[in-house]
Amino acid sequence: MLSIGSVVIKVSDIDRATAFWCAALGYEPHRMDVDFAILVPKDGVGQRISLDEADSVPQEFPQVHFDLYAGDAADQAAEVERLIALGAERVDDWPYPEHEHDFIVLADTEGNRFCVIDTGFG
């Protein structure tokens, strides 16, 4: 039986991406090479993330992305501001639905899109 060993993110600056994702998620480097890193949760619980240095450009509308869960709208707003302070950028031109929605789209320091979800929505 297979299992997911790591989720891999392509990045252009391995050190910058490592600093961002470790601070964002409470992770630490497990293995660091010149062009590859494996990040693990400090408490040992959760999915590994691998960073792979590449010259590719992030997709404007990626087919796969992270959904990071926040507790409620206030927690979501606080987490969005914290992530922006760490170097993320808000993606304001995302085609959000016209009705209320539970997600805010951000881009990491490499331009990779991810969502911060209000899990108390609805």
Shared domain for 110 and 76, answered yes or no, is yes
Shared domain for 122 and 70, answered yes or no, is yes
Residue 43 banded pLDDT, cuts 50, 70, 90: very high
Total domains in the fold of the chain: 2
Shared domain for 8 and 44, answered yes or no, is yes
Shared domain for 8 and 47, answered yes or no, is yes
Distance CA 59, CA 47 (A): 23
Shared domain for 122 and 67, answered yes or no, is yes
Q: Which long-range contacts (CB under 8 A, 24 or more apart) does 87-90 make?
A: 87/16, 87/20, 88/20, 88/24
Strand partners, 53: 11
In the predicted structure, residue 122 carries a pLDDT above the cut 80: no
The residue segments making up the domain with residue 46 are 1-55
Give me the phi and psi of 80, to 5 degrees please: -60, -45
CATH of the domain at 68: 3.30.720
Q: What is the DSSP string of 54-74?
A: -SPPPPSS-SS-EEEEESSHH
In the predicted structure, residue 100 carries a pLDDT above the cut 90: no
Shared domain for 35 and 77, answered yes or no, is no
pLDDT value of position 28: 98
Shared domain for 89 and 120, answered yes or no, is yes
Q: What is the pTM of this model?
A: 0.91
CATH of the domain at 49: 3.30.720.120
